[in-house]
Amino acid sequence: MAVQESIFVKMLVPQKPLSVKEVVSVEIPAVDGPYLVLSKRAPAMKLLKAGIVVLKDADQGKTEKFFVSAGIAKIRDNACTILAHNVLNMEDIDLEQVKKELATYREKEEKEIHLDEIDCQKIAFLQMIVGYFAK
Q: What is the mean pLDDT of residues 90-94?
A: 90
Q: 88-109 as b/e, with b when 16 or more CB fall inside 10 Å?
A: beeeeeeeeebeeebeebeeee
Q: Phi first, then psi: give them for residue 95, nearest 5 degrees.
A: -60, -40
C-beta atoms surrounding 10 within 10 Å: 15
Which fold, 7-90? ATP Synthase; domain 1 (2.60.15)
Nearest alpha carbon to residue 66 among 82, 49, 90: 90
What whole-number percentage of the chain has pLDDT above 90? 43
Portion of the chain with pLDDT greater than 70, in percent? 96
